[in-house]
Structure 1
């Protein structure tokens, strides 16, 4: 596994966790917008994982459109995980 900052392995683990969390959320947004079959096991797992990862932010904004609501409710936590995860990893790698 290549280290993105060439520093502490803990920083790499933090980056990996943040990136995977954001990827799951982004993939769920795509599956939702493409109207994926929720009876499919993978789609069901993605929905459950995305709901768990975004539990703190869902319903933060009241938006009429289902598509925009999904983008905001799952996109915001994806962005937060990326920003905070990368910031913490950068601090760990500088220490």
Structure 2
């Protein structure tokens, strides 16, 4: 289940817990709503922690060193664009 599914669970749970006045025999509808909200929150936390681990972070102390290349051009061999050196 992705992040969108977790958000849907939280929204449906909030609607069942706070915005309905349904009375079903043997079912506590607000409790079902709270359970859905908790499951959605657990899924959101799990999803974000996994996504954070997958992210590759380059340490700020890494230094990029560029080398200067000198192209020697040999006239007469047909390679004058630097690729034939």
TM-score by length of 1: 0.42
Q: Max radius of gyration: which structure? A: 2
Considering Cα pairs closer than 8 Å and 6+ residues apart, tell me whether 1 or 2 has the greater RCO: 1
TM-score by length of 2: 0.46
